[in-house]
Structure formats: structure tokens, C-alpha cells
Amino acid sequence: MALHTLSGVRAVSEEVSREKLRYTVWRLMEERNIAAFPRPVYGRIPNFIGAETAAARLASSDLFKKAGVVKVNPDAPQRKVRELVLKAGKLLVVPTPRISEGFLLIDPRRVPSWLHGEASTIPGSFRYGTRVDPEEIPEVDLVVAGSVVVSVFGERLGKGEGYSEIEYGILFEYGKLSEEVPIITTVHDVQVVEFRIPLEPWDVTVDFVFTPTRTIRCESGRKRPRGILWDYLDTEKIEAIPTLKALAEKKRVDLARR
């Protein structure tokens, strides 16, 4: 049975458990003092030492330079990515934490340049952004997702609550992004593994991984659900996310009219 090792993460590929893999990486980041505030990183998209370097590596890429509208997760390790999006004059789409208040749109032209750093924080995004319905969001050119673990083949694991996949599904349902839109993640090198991570039907793979030291192109093929997979969502989850609840109601109305 082959063992695969990368940056200190070792797993038996045939028996890899998604949850065990998350905890292995969280523990490794804490034990090696790679983790950054907020700590401990267990249960989070982990912030890490070198996050700004990974963000700068992304910002120097053609993918980033060509994008006019960038959707970035609201977690701590991607704060610098959000700042660089604004500094580059691009429209920034940020889901609110747990999508509890939908999406925010931040137009850098309406934010003084010296406040771009503040606007890239969660409180600042509420202060300087505008809450928008999905219909009002411009078409997204690039998606930046946070990760706990990601493979060189493009499979990624978040913290296990599915918000990134729901955000993707909502924007797909409203025609705000297509299957061709690049999806990337910024992580520490120890969060990258060289073996396959088992996928669930709702998982979304990434095209590129940016670390403080590497740019990895994932060439094993994209996996993109075509919208929300309603059969995998319970009523409690739908009720907790107003935007998702509104989309479910819209679907019911559309079906009733047919």
C-alpha cells in the first residue's frame, strides 16, 4: 500500500478519510506554528504564515490580471487577496459569513485607496460594500476559494460545512458564473497533498493552487455541479440561508407555472 508524503502530510491514499485529513492538516499547522490568527485553526479555513506571499503570487498571474470581477471567500487567509483585488481596480464579490446575509459587492472606485485594506476585512466589507441580490451581481471572471486541504489534482476540502459549494451553486443558478470560470485557492504548502481526495457529488474542484512558494496547475479535469444539488440539503440548512431559501421558492414558483 503506497504512502504519499508532501510537506509533512502523510496518508494512505486508498484509505484516506476526508475528516481525518482535515484534522491532520489542522494539527500539523498548529504543531509547526504555521498557523496565524485566529487560532486555534481547528474548524476553520486556516490562516497561515505566508498568506500574503501566496496572495501576491496569485496577483502576479495572468488569471488575476485578466479578471474584472473576482469572487473571494470571506476567511482570514484570503484577506490579502481581497485587498489586492480592490487595489487592482477590480470589482470584489464577497459572500457574507455562512451566507447569512447574502453577498456583498465592493466597488474600489467608491473606496479611497488608503482604505482598501480595511475594506478587505469582514467588518470593512460590510461598511464599504453593498448588499446585493444574486441578480444584481455582475458575471464573475475568477473565483478564489479557501481550503483546509487541496490536492495537486484539484480536489479541495473546506471546513466541512459546504458553504463554498452553496455559494458556487447559487451564482451558477443565477447565471453569474459558468463552468469555465477558473477557480483557485491560496494555501500553505503543508495544505497540499499529492494523492487523490475522495469527492462528494457537490464538491467543486480548483484549477490552480497558489502557495507561498509554488503555483500548481491542476490538470486532472474539472468537476463542477450544475447549480444547487437540492437532494443533499436539509430544510434547516435552506432556512438558515435567506438567499438559498429565496432561490428554492423561485424554483417552486417556476415549476408551478409550467
| pLDDT confidence of residue 246 | 93
| pLDDT confidence of residue 206 | 97
Quickly list DSSP for 145-189. Answer: E--SEEETTS-EE-SSS-HHHHHHHHHHHTTSS-TTS-EEEE--G
Instruction: Determine the Cα–Cα distance for residues 235 and 239; give it in Å rounded to an integer.
Output: 6
Inside any domain, residue 78? yes
Q: What is the extent of the structural domain holding 99?
A: 1-253
| pLDDT confidence of residue 103 | 98
Q: For residue 163, what is the domain's CATH number?
A: 3.40.50.10420
Inside any domain, residue 178? yes
- Contact (CB, 8 A) for 76 and 47: yes
User: Residue 18 is inside which H or E element, if any?
Assistant: helix 18-31
| pLDDT confidence of residue 251 | 83
What is the total count of domains within the chain?
1
Inside any domain, residue 61? yes
Inside any domain, residue 258? no
What angle separates helix 242-257 from helix 163-173, to the nearest 10 degrees? 40
Inside any domain, residue 221? yes
Terminal CA-CA length for the chain: 54
Show the DSSP H helices in 190-241 as ranges.
235-240
Amino acid at 177: L
Residue-wise pLDDT tens for the chain (258 aa)? 233 344 445 443 434 689 999 999 999 999 999 999 999 999 999 999 999 999 999 999 999 999 999 999 999 999 999 999 999 999 999 999 999 999 999 999 999 999 999 999 999 999 999 999 999 999 999 999 999 999 999 999 999 899 999 999 999 999 999 999 999 999 999 999 999 999 999 999 999 999 999 999 998 788 899 999 999 999 999 999 999 999 999 888 777 777
- Closest of 171, 168, 150 to residue 159, by C-alpha: 150
Inside any domain, residue 189? yes
Sheet holding 69-72, edge to edge: 130-132, 103-106, 91-95, 69-72, 142-145, 183-186, 208-210, 215-217
Inside any domain, residue 232? yes
Inside any domain, residue 167? yes
Count the residues in the chain.
Answer: 258
